[in-house]
Structure 1
Amino acid sequence: MDPDPPQKRRRIGNIDSEVSAGEAAKGRKVSRACDFCKSRKSKCSGTQPCDKCLAKGRHCLYDAKYTRGRPPTPPMRPEAGDAEESAVPSRASPEIGMAEIQGQVFDSTSGLSFLHRAWKRLSAQHTSIGNEEVGASETQPVTMAGDNPLSTETHEPLRLPDPTEARRLLALYFDVCIATYRFLHRPTVEAWLDVLERNMETEQPIWRGIGHARAAIVLVVLAIAVAHREKSNNFTSVGGEANALKLSDELFSIAARLTDGETGFPRLESAQARLVQVLYLLTTSRFNRSWFVFGIALQFVSALGLHRRANFKRRRIARTVDYIHVQCGLRTFWTAYILDNHLGVIFGRPRHFHDQDIDQELPERVNDDNMTADGPINTPGNPDCHIDALIFHTRIARIIGKISREIYSTRTLSEEERVAAAHRLMHEVHEWHADLPLHLGSIPPSMLIPSYRRQATVLKLAHAHAIMHSKRLFLLGNSASLQKDQVDDCLAAARVVLETVDASAAEGPIFHAFWWTHYVTFTALVIVYVWEIQQRRQGWTIANEAELLRLANRCHTHLAQATATNSPSRRYAVILEEFREAALTNNQIVEQVNLGLPVEVNVDPLLAGSSQNPGPAAMQGLTFFDEWEMTDWLDLDSSAFWPHADISESLEWPSYIYG
């Protein structure tokens, strides 16, 4: 099979210009390109206006500094007077030249150059705070670089919460913290906790009788609950977070040493122990380490054959089936599948699991209390089940994976093919939503018990994210009459996310604890700001425009205030500030938006301006998305995790390269 044709990207081309149309017969090289073609490193006819500027209706200029001797005068095109010209404000930022971000070259008019500015602003803020964090990153192991270090890495004695508090923390974990990631059997974990406490009382190794992996699972479950509880208390500084997470970090550190010391062949609990560690690291914004621990967890999942149905059949033949063990294996695999999907999106990295390699069945609809080793306990009727959320989360994750592959494919696709894929996959999203049980789709979450409330909220956000993910491409279209309905649906989904987040923040700082919600909020805010930029070009309008922007500003602030200063949520907020400035510059409702806010939007220091902040002028003009490509959306999704080194000043291209 022939490989897919490489996608056209903006890279440095030949410095020499092309032969102009007028001199083609003589084969004369054009020694000077117009300012626009020069900034793009593209071929230029050398006439004024040049071929490209004439086709695009741009104002063709030759004002850039010329460093190859005396600048030649470009020949005037005879029909230039008949060509319609439109002056387009420059989007260039004065201090930014060429930059390379993750191997991709971006110039000052690139659709993603604003991300360079956002990272420069973030770097400037970190510099003003001090160089301690930078120095710490340089000495951290490569799998942890950039993460907040654990509060303790020393071998301190284990401090368990008292039995009453430990049971309360277990309830918090299963009812609130994990939502749909229910791969652990609650009665079994409670039994392991009993053993661990007895070992503590008798001064035995805590893993005696249950093994390293199971003991580690108990400790990390408690750590997640402690971290969630402390995050809900709304600490506002790095030091405050470190102090608040001291106990949970101690529990996690001991658990990590237990799994490192595990011996023998891998067991289901080996995979579960690493997977629950990933959840803790994500909850505490240690994303770099979470990525590498997740990779280890996936190796255990694959080694155990949890992705293949045939392996389960062989086990049934080989030994007596433990129903709880089999169902927890299914739950573990599908939880890893969902996380693989989520982390691939926010990191911008390839997924590990591929649907064509998976033939595993979904877990059965059985609550933990109704499971025995011999099978499920029959219950009358068809009661609500906590596993419904895991099943439906898996289904929507599959659809989102299809959206990423088919709409955002790196293969060369026509706009018609992408639009057709979007319509087809949105039909699957609608079918998924119609199949939701009442307690997960129709009943307001506020009327549900805490465990179902969290699950309903997660699936509500997953539904909105699927709509945004599939329909945001219509924001960049040129046919308002054909695409307005799609844009309205995309905006409605973004509004659902922002209203949910705003309501959650009003109830308390619990929003700070949910890492995936931060990303979905970022996506919704980008859509609102992009729409505000585009609607001035296309003439799109929606009801309550000012109210929507006020809502967006509140959620922008919630995102900026969530977790520590070097967390992805803060990076999201800084990147969003570039969008916000572009969306609200010269907008007639800026005053309304600001009057609707009780405080200044930039309440967070990381959003404050600085001498290195180019400000709104860097994004002026209505041609911001002229060069936007579909895969640029994916680059934007993962922009909070771009390596600092790849966007440093050392990678800017000096002006003498272009001439």
Structure 2
Amino acid sequence: MQLDSGSDSRRPSSQRLPVNPRRHKVAPEHRKRVATACNSCNVRRVKCSGGTPCSQCSASNRECVYPVPVEKVNVPRAELEELRKKVELYERALQEAIPDPSRRQELISLASATPEGLSPSPSASAFSPSQSFPSEGSSHLQGAPSVKPEPEDEQTPGHLVQDPSDTVGYLGETSGATFLDHLKELLGAVLPLTQVEPQLSQGQDGSALLSSLGRYYTADSRPLVDRDSKPISLPSNEDLAALLSKLRYLIQDGNGEWPSGGIYWFGEFDILPTQAASPSSAPEADMSEFRHLAFYHAALANIIRAGTSSKEALNSASTPSLSEAYFAGAAILVGNPLDVTRCCTIGDVATLCLMSAYLIEMNRRDAAYMHVAAAMHICIMLGIHRGVADERGKRVFWTVYILDRWLSCLMGRPHIIMDGAIRIQLPADAPSMPPAAGLRAHVELSRISGYVVCNTYRIAPWEAVRGGMPTQPDKAIWMLQQWQLTLPPRLQLSPDGLSNDPACCLLHMRYNMLLILAIRPLFLGAVKRSIAKRLMVQTTETNMMYSEHLTLCITAARRNIRLGRQLAALNLSRKSPLHAEQHYSFNATVCLILEDLISDEEVSEEEREARNNDIMFGIQLEEDGITNFGQASSNSLRHLWALARRLMDSMVQTQELNNAGLAGQRFAPPMMTTPTDYSMPVLQTGEDHALYDELVAWVDDEWPPMYNTGLFSGFMQ
């Protein structure tokens, strides 16, 4: 900034004299010298041609960069002093109003962040439906970070929840517990308006669900069995081979019987260890010689858990189980993964991978999150993510990748490694190994899962957004549909939507779950709008918005219940369902419970009975789990169903009274000077119009905060 020095004629010798006003102005095309030389010519004091690049830089093969023009403004000294005084005055006022320096600095940073500074260029986020999706033979996954996300992203904050031991943990918006809390808040706000008194006891009317706001169940609160100084002995080779074969059938590739080849690969379960001695009888100093047995201890922990029924788990809940003892043995043998002085191998990665799978099944998600992180970091240390591995190591890496993306989705947290850092090829068919089609498709589906978590929900975005607002779910929906269209024949479902391959059923259940997850914020917004409209008198009819999205969500939920039944029929030898089956079924059941609240269409008795049977199946599947988590989930579904029916009965009665012209007896409009399309429900003594204003906001809200206000853009075509 230059100051007007008034009549002062003294100037520094280095300051240039003003242009002679009598000098004729020469047109740019007739000038012998350019107005501004490039940086290189300016430093070298040579004549610049003014081109881009200029002739000097072009001849010398140098980068030609011109200085950025800076606009100069002349400000009178008196005005400058006045501005300085105002700034000092405002700073003192701000300090008195907000004494906390950190809060004050936060407000200053927020005020200084302009929309242009927060929002990347619209062109950076443009997405074309013609973009190609990675094919089966693509060498690596796409999705590298291209744009730095905005620092102040308050769209999907998630929240802190408490476990049974009152330990606080963070769960993001993709977590089922977080979504369930949103439903609790919604139902808790509108249930006081219901005119229908519950005929059930407090334990059966659903109110217990509302009291659990901000809490969730996890077995991470309960310590595992104490780790002894020595791991327990392995079974005989004959028994061990039978147990490993059973585990391979249940969680890997069906002992080679599944056409898909399975959607995980933990290792070679058909190779038995050499057991010259037992680790339980070995000296402490020689324990490292038995490190390779950690894999088999982790495998036994998984197969014993899979062979335990819910009744057996309930009876032995107070005593340490054999599966936990084998898990502890695996932890002792594999050692501390944080000790970098030890020579870690791909075998350690496979062991940690099996231990993570066990922890997920035991509903110890935080512990599994840490084990998967350790496994992935060992892979990075060994360079496996860059392709330094054979086909077996490659499949182990991609299984760790799948578990990483799965836990990220379950807990609403960022995943460990970005796709742009991965250069290893996708799994490929190899001699003496199961087909790679299922695992390869699962990897590609997990990549889309990472996109939904990071970009659709803005948990760790790498993709630019238009106007600073989060993206709609349409791109994620398009990616999922393209994934389904490009599946090889062996992974496609039959015309009736089923498969005799359990791994294929589970793969399609995850596909349906991601569709539900991408659309879920819209689904919640539709429930809020429908409730608000039915509880308020309307003078104009409004159509249900985004019906295509909602129909897609409900259809995906019904498909998952159908596939869940198929899995239960195929896995009769398994005493309890997998955690993934329960998770997919739980979210599908929630959608079916809420379907009545968003639909105005009449449902036949046959359709209602079929829906109720689907809901009951989802509740029963949760109860069949071997941990207390299954019982807690089934109770949550029962309570949610009871609350939804209470609310639905009240809204039906409200609608009948409105249609009969009796609404004026139950609704009293607030004091307003302008006409409105709605009337307020009668509130209890001491309440104000805040709930009414909230209902109006629900009706007027076209999109939930998760997405921007764009229209359906054709990605589903």
SS in 2 for 1:472: helix
Answer yes or no: is the 8 Å Cα contact 1:396–1:466 preserved in 2: no
1:91 is aligned to: none
Answer yes or no: is the 8 Å Cα contact 2:231–2:280 preserved in 1: no
d(CA) in 2 for partners of 1:338, 1:223: 21
| Residue of 385, 393, 398 corresponding to 1:334 | 398
State the AA in 2 paired with 1:402: Y
1:85 is aligned to: none
1:240 aligns with 2:304: no
Distance 1:157 1:356, change over 3 A: closer
1:343 is aligned to: 407
1:15 is aligned to: none
1:295 is aligned to: 373
d(CA) in 2 for partners of 1:237, 1:363: 37
SS in 2 for 1:585: helix
d(CA) in 2 for partners of 1:10, 1:249: 35
1:153 aligns with 2:227: yes
1:602 is aligned to: none
Deviation at 1:391, TM superposition (A): 0.5
Deviation at 1:181, TM superposition (A): 5.5
| Residue of 388, 405, 411 corresponding to 2:454 | 405
1:435 aligns with 2:493: no
2:561 is aligned to: 498
Deviation at 1:335, TM superposition (A): 1.2
Distance 1:397 1:329, change over 3 A: same
State the AA in 1 paired with 2:641: R
d(CA) in 2 for partners of 1:397, 1:564: 26
CA deviations over 1:402-430 (Å, ceiling 9, x no partner): 122332226897899867x5333323222
Deviation at 1:343, TM superposition (A): 0.6
Root mean square deviation of aligned Cα: 4.6
d(CA) in 2 for partners of 1:561, 1:208: 42
Deviation at 1:520, TM superposition (A): 1.5
Map 1:468-617 to 2 at 5 A. Answer: 468-475=516-523, 476-477=525-526, 480=543, 483-505=546-568, 508=572, 510=574, 512-536=576-600, 544-565=607-628, 567=629, 569-585=630-646, 587=648
**Which runs of 5 or more residues in structure 1 are unaligned?**
12-99, 127-136, 138-143, 313-324, 371-384, 591-619, 633-659
Bigger radius of gyration among the two: 2
1:256 aligns with 2:331: yes
Answer yes or no: is the 8 Å Cα contact 1:207–1:214 preserved in 2: no
SS in 2 for 1:331: helix
State the AA in 2 paired with 1:529: I
d(CA) in 1 for partners of 2:224, 2:186: 35
1:353 aligns with 2:417: yes
Distance 1:281 1:442, change over 3 A: same
d(CA) in 1 for partners of 2:182, 2:428: 53
State the AA in 2 paired with 1:472: R
| Residue of 236, 257, 273 corresponding to 1:194 | 273
d(CA) in 2 for partners of 1:286, 1:346: 12
Map 1:353-432 to 2 at 5 A. Answer: 353-366=417-430, 369-370=432-433, 385-409=434-458, 421-432=472-483
State the AA in 2 paired with 1:279: A
1:275 aligns with 2:386: no
d(CA) in 1 for partners of 2:437, 2:183: 49
- Give the TM-score taking structure 2 as reference length: 0.54
d(CA) in 2 for partners of 1:223, 1:576: 30
d(CA) in 2 for partners of 1:213, 1:160: 13
Deviation at 1:390, TM superposition (A): 0.9
Answer yes or no: is the 8 Å Cα contact 1:502–1:555 preserved in 2: no
Deviation at 1:493, TM superposition (A): 0.9
d(CA) in 2 for partners of 1:102, 1:499: 33
Deviation at 1:386, TM superposition (A): 3.3
Question: Whose RCO is larger (CA < 8 A, sep 6+)?
Answer: 1
1:215 aligns with 2:293: yes
d(CA) in 1 for partners of 2:697, 2:583: 22
d(CA) in 2 for partners of 1:207, 1:490: 58
Deviation at 1:111, TM superposition (A): 4.2
2:504 is aligned to: 456
SS in 1 for 2:490: helix
Answer yes or no: is the 8 Å Cα contact 2:263–2:503 preserved in 1: no
State the AA in 1 paired with 2:452: I
Distance 1:396 1:360, change over 3 A: same
State the AA in 1 paired with 2:382: L
State the AA in 2 paired with 1:360: I
State the AA in 2 paired with 1:219: H
Distance 1:545 1:247, change over 3 A: same
> Which structure features the higher share of helix residues?
1
Deviation at 1:173, TM superposition (A): 1.7
Deviation at 1:123, TM superposition (A): 11
Deviation at 1:238, TM superposition (A): 3.4
SS in 2 for 1:198: coil
Distance 1:334 1:103, change over 3 A: closer
CA deviations over 1:356-407 (Å, ceiling 9, x no partner): 222321121225x25xxxxxxxxxxxxxx53211110000111122122332
Answer yes or no: is the 8 Å Cα contact 2:586–2:618 preserved in 1: no
Deviation at 1:256, TM superposition (A): 0.8
Answer yes or no: is the 8 Å Cα contact 1:562–1:570 preserved in 2: yes
1:174 is aligned to: 248
d(CA) in 2 for partners of 1:210, 1:336: 24
SS in 2 for 1:409: coil
SS in 2 for 1:557: helix
d(CA) in 2 for partners of 1:400, 1:423: 14
The aligned length equals 454
Distance 1:123 1:432, change over 3 A: closer
